[in-house]
Structure 1
Amino acid sequence: MPITIPADLPAYSVLSNEGVMVMSPDHAARQDIRPLRIGLLNLMPKKIQTENQFARLIGATPLQIELSLIRMTEHQTKNTAAEHMEEFYRPFQEIKDQKFDGLIITGAPIEHLAFQEVSYWDELKQVFEWTQTNVHSTFGVCWGGMAMINHFHGITKHSLDQKAFGCFRHLNLQPTSPYLRGFSDDFVIPVSRWTEMSQSDIDNTPGLTTLLGSAGVGPCLVEDPEHRALYIFNHFEYDSDTLKQEYDRDVESGTAINVPVNYYPDDDPSRKPLNRWRSHAHLLYGNWLSEIYQTTPYDVNRIGLETADLRA
């Protein structure tokens, strides 16, 4: 089944050319099926690139998805055309009365700031609380996941002496989890961050379960059933060349940066990187959507009123 997005959104033509099933809202309205309503709260500066990455993953399942793009109300992006933001994004304050089957909260390149120093932190806390009444399942990604687990559980992020940068091997710690159906025992995930969450802090917090983790870069995917949430601190959504773009940017600007670990063949930046995480990325987001589909109320207005267990 296709993902429903506006026909003039750049991702529509990008995904169509890649063979991903996409559908315009007019076409979707003619089908007698309720699509899953998924929101993307996009905190990344390169909005279009991030839209493409997540739309690619959630549009690859047999389910019809209606994707809504959301932004913080007062924060103005400097890296995406104002016309694009005006046409395709809605500020949180305009959509907060709506209900969503799922919400993805992206990362943001503001790791150096304490959470309380982020200009939109107060509104983001409103978003976190809003998910408990208006969203069936939330997926916090990288900084977004760190911020959410901090809000609900008080777990703090810790600065790293050196950037965790590259493709790191991870272990499947909970093979029976419905979110990990089809996962290998170990695999690589792109990582790009200056902070980390402590596994001991997570272990000492009742109700949290680490599903994926790495000896090199710590916990990766954490389940929080009480808040109907998943937190992932790494980047399954990355394109094949995303780490290369980050590396080339830092080299060009003179910023000290290591060659991303286990990314280029023979760690040679002159060679084309290989994507070795794509299949697991599709598995994870497909499993997340499958769990939503099986547990969300058919009447979208019942979201928040019915406390369906995602593990039921």
Structure 2
Amino acid sequence: MDFKKYELIKEIGSGTFGRVWMAKDFDSNEFVAIKRRPKWQNIVSREVEAMEAVKGERGIVQIKGCFYSLTPGGIIMQNIVMPLMTKSLGVFIRENRALRKQNSSHRISPELVKNLSFQIVNGLAALHSSGYTHRDFKPDNILLMDTDDSERKFPTINICDLGSSKKLLNNSIHMPYVVSRFYRAPELLLGSCDYNEKIDIWALGCILAELLALDPIFVGRCPDKYRDNKVNYNKQGVDEPFQILKIIEVLGSPNSNDIELIKKTVPKSIIKVLDECLLKSEVSSISWLEIFEGFFTDGERLLVEIISNCIQWNPTKRPSAIEIL
């Protein structure tokens, strides 16, 4: 099928799983978003399958249609048609971060934080109830739609980019190198191939924390002095140890029970590191109330409690999205 029904206007986003364009639908005379990527073999993509599975669910971007087109070079492109949203939560947070630089007391209003948090958790609960784990949950994969409805006070939230989403079956092996690093659960950072939807819950805690603080809570990067080593520079995984260190700075060292649980799912090469490094270190945790001091009101103490429950070493201790609701 060609683009007779749509006119591509401008590119509005890009990522690992394609480029997103603003387009005009000539039939409805409305603007839509079209996500384009090369079609792989003769199968329906996992993203389309996931979007079909969550049709009608609130809090998740809805698929309006899918068609295929041919580029001048002969490449078959998959085109997913979706509603056009205003901006991502990531952009919204960065806008507010810039405002805080101008005014140190600036923050997102408690009412808006509460409403957005509820919508995000509700959307994630719907995704998990459908059997899918997102596996790349982060602010840039959550979309906001401003409203013209005078009776609706807050923007609408939709979780998007299901390109990494997957049904995680028991006793199956999954790739550990998923989720953007700042939102990646410790079991993934340590190389676990046996994980579940609780990796999304860790990411959820990081996202809610960022709504309060306006900065990612765990920013682990390899120092530049080590990057000068040409052997390691730009290699995949060079930042992961420093991400773990950032987590330890906040959560403290995992206890022996948590380490034993982690050891059951990580590669054998990592087990010795866990024993030698984590078991022998005794770093104390920092209070979440101390971390968010000045960033929250008394009415948001429950949100801070939810964040602390989500961001735990032990995935079995993290609540489900439905339990949070």
- Could you state the TM-score of these two structures normalised by the residue count of structure 2? 0.25
Q: Which has the higher contact order (CA 8 A, sep 6+)?
A: 1
Tell me which protein shows more helix as a share of its residues.
2
Question: What is the TM-score when the length of structure 1 is the normalising length?
Answer: 0.25
Greater Cα radius of gyration, structure 1 or 2: 2
Q: Which of the two has greater strand per residue?
A: 1
